[in-house]
Amino acid sequence: MTEPVLEIKNLNVDYGLGDQSVHAIRDVSLTLHRGEVLGLAGESGSGKSTLAYGMTRLLPPPGVITGGQVIYTPESGDPYDVLQLTDRQLRGFRWSETAIVFQGAMNSLNPVHKISTQLTDVLRAHEPKMSESSRNARAREMLKLVGIAADRMDAYPHQLSGGMRQRVMIGMALILQPQVVIMDEPTTALDVVMQRQILGQLIELRERLGFSVIFITHDLSLLVEFSNRIAIMYGGRIVEEAPASALYRDSLHPYSQGLLGSFPALRGPRRELTGIPGSPPDLKGMPSGCSFHPRCPKAFDPCATEIPVLTAHGDRSAACWLVER
């Protein structure tokens, strides 16, 4: 495995303060290695977006980071903790070192400006010494890389399809050549064919430009196809982490098995879709012990009272008493 580029260490995030607070991220540790695609999956409300916002310090109130570190290692220079950066340092870090493409980002393009202007504005803000012709050339090159013809440079957002607007957003995220790109459900608003086309293209770009990706989705089948490693979240914790192929072949955690049983087999014989009974936990009344125990078909003695810790087993890890024993 390559060296780490981003290490999340024991991150905790709450919504609200004091007695009213709920714990949305609980002691999450996760490492992104240089050049890899790390997938993050889990049902709605498991904490995927909160983790993405927390690690980039984009958490809106009442979200509060209550503990942990996010160590970033630049291509050259010493590692530093993103959570300790001043606001000024943080502005330099975002876009240039780490860029994020949000859910429905395509709707955040400014409707009254041409897409060329919106791309060159990012360069104007972050690389003020760059000449106008170089800015235009970089914007054109970026659009070409994400599959948009140069003659669409001067289009307004409403003149582009949803897929093209989302490609523009991906181009915008990559324009300052960041080391890390975080994608939070970047293609959910698009049809399945377009989703796969855009993700396939992103992987090609990653191979060419060498950035690393944290790819967040509730659609585990997409991650199995497009990521190197997958982390599964439940109730604000990572419950399993493994190479994508190992997780697909034989996941260790009953929750991952339930998620995998919720979509048709990608290859090989057909399998019965089983799903997961019950609903995700409410943060205000998180079950004791393993928070998955009320829904787990394999729960046994310790599960309702003792919290399982994420423990390494070779190149994978799981937080489950069944795996421990």
In our burial notation (b when 16+ CB lie closer than 10 A, e otherwise), range 174-186 reads: bbbebbbbbbbbb
Measured between alpha carbons, how far is 97 from 90 in angstroms, rounded to an integer?
10
Strand partners, 11: 28
**42, interface contact from ligand ATP, ligand SF4, none, CB < 5-8 Å by kind:** ligand ATP
Question: Minimal CA–CA distance to 257: which of 243, 247, 272?
Answer: 247
Q: Which of 65, 71, 265, 299 binds ligand SF4 (CB under 6 A)?
A: 299
Name the minimum Å distance from CB 132 to ligand ATP.
Answer: 39
**Which DSSP symbol is given to 255?**
H
Interaction of residue 47 with ligand ATP, rule CB under 6 A = yes
Cα 236–chain centre separation: 14
Q: Record the tokens describing residue 2, joined without a space.
A: 């390559």
Measured between alpha carbons, how far is 7 from 74 in angstroms, rounded to an integer?
12
**303, interface contact from ligand SF4, ligand ATP, none, CB < 5-8 Å by kind:** ligand SF4
Number of H helices, E strands in the chain: 10, 12
Interaction of residue 44 with ligand ATP, rule CB under 6 A = yes
Report 196-235 residues binding ligand ATP (CB under 6 A): 218
Q: Which of 38, 41, 50, 237 binds ligand ATP (CB under 6 A)?
A: 50
Span of 43-51, 193-201, 238-246, 317-325 interacting with ligand ATP by CB under 6 A: 43-51
Site string for ligand SF4, 179-198 (x = CB under 6 A): --------------------
Q: Record the tokens describing residue 245, joined without a space.
A: 């192929």
Site string for ligand ATP, 56-85 (x = CB under 6 A): ------x-----------------------
Q: Which of 15, 95, 211, 226 binds ligand ATP (CB under 6 A)?
A: 15
**45, interface contact from ligand SF4, ligand ATP, none, CB < 5-8 Å by kind:** ligand ATP
Name the minimum Å distance from CB 294 to ligand SF4.
Answer: 8
178-to-12, 55, 72, 126, 203 alpha-carbon distances in Å: 25, 15, 12, 12, 15
Site string for ligand SF4, 144-183 (x = CB under 6 A): ----------------------------------------
Name the minimum Å distance from CB 291 to ligand SF4.
Answer: 8
Interaction of residue 106 with ligand ATP, rule CB under 6 A = no
Q: CB of 43 within 8 A of CB of 49? A: no
**163, interface contact from ligand SF4, ligand ATP, none, CB < 5-8 Å by kind:** none
Three-state DSSP class for residue 167? helix
Measured between alpha carbons, how far is 214 from 31 in angstroms, rounded to an integer?
10
Site string for ligand SF4, 245-284 (x = CB under 6 A): --------xxx-----------------------------
Strand partners, 312: 317
Long-range (24+ apart) CB contacts under 8 A made by 263-272 are: 263/219, 263/220, 263/221, 266/221, 266/224, 266/225
Residue numbers at the binding site for ligand SF4 (CB under 6 A): 253-255, 290, 292-293, 296, 298-299, 303, 308, 320-322
